[in-house]
Amino acid sequence: MVKAVVLGASGGIGQPLSLLMKTCPLVDDLALYDVVNTPGVAADISHISSIAKVVGYLPADDGLKKALTGADMVVIPAGIPRKPGMTRDDLFNINAGIVRDLTLGIAEHCPKAFVLIISNPVNSTVPIAAEILKSKGVFDPKKVFGVTTLDVVRAETFVAQLTGERDPQKTVIPVIGGHSGETIVPLFSQAKPSVQIPTDKLDEIVKRIQFGGDEVVAAKGGAGSATLSMAYAGFRFAEKVLKAVRGEKGIVEPTYVYLPGVDGGDAIAKATGVDFFSVPVELGPNGAKSAQNILEHVNDHEKKLLEACKSGLKGNITKGVEFAKNPPAK
């Protein structure tokens, strides 16, 4: 029996993610938690004729505790989008606080669950979650993941548009680093099967992968962000973790992890100068089985991208760790 939980299930990512999790035959019980509307979301998707039994919880009556108790996997898309007049620091403090509080719940009620973090900024929220779990003595680096799959999905899609490949998923393109702007580094040189990006298109496609969210915000007229594609990407990664837990071999997905706690991660941490970094990770029954060091094979163009990535990531990680250790006064 597998119990999965979506924290932030009523939001723009949470609702479609919950829908996809309900359709997954690997999930037996699905718990949905948010500060509003979860009973309605749960009632709606509970009518879908799939295996998972669904229950929605609100904060009242120990809702978070009930949602998390017995959980095998917790996916966190909770948080708010940036609103007019809100600074990036305002947004960071709110979402960082949400992730901190939810992680405290995980530490108390399901410390052995796999934790998949979607809440932005992922570069900082994953270090926050790690610090909270460490402070409670329950941090397992093999089970805490930053979901960077949307960057991979975009790379697959945009490259297929260039190459004419009918099925984008037939091309495996590693995307490493972080999950925002210049910290996102697609490694076209290591695509399988190999792809040739025309020189005059290279900067354009890299920027499109790095800032794909801006494209969606503009298309939605500022009234929304990349919620549906993010829900798909979050589900895709969650399903891969569940398949690996069941014993399926050879599953490798880029994900943002605490490198010193994953086999093979130390060499990558040494090469990048950061402890959190997204690289292809082989998944196994216990989570992150090994991190694959593909940095040795990058070309000169990718080396330049990596320098900008590492610089940005260091600040993002430090900001998250500082928030967890010294949270701002409420």
Annotated catalytic sites, by residue?
A: 179
How would DSSP label each residue in 167-203?
A: -GGGSB--EEE-SSGGGEEE-GGG-BS-----HHHHH
Q: In this structure, are strands 29-33 and 144-146 parallel, antiparallel, or unpaired?
A: unpaired
CB-based contact 273:195 (threshold 8 Å): no
Angle between helices 199-210 and 149-163 (to 10 degrees): 150
The C-alpha torsion from 66 through 70 and 74 to 77, rounded to 10°, is -10
* Phi, psi angle pair for 133, to nearest 5°: -65, -40
Residue 229, SS3? helix
Cβ atoms within 10 A of the Cβ of 193, count?
Answer: 9
Helix, strand, coil percentages (3-state) for the chain, rounded to 5, are 50, 15, 30
* Phi, psi angle pair for 91, to nearest 5°: -60, -45
Going by C-alpha positions, the residue among 50, 164, 117 that lies closest to residue 320 is 117
Cα(71)–Cα(292) distance, integer angstroms: 28
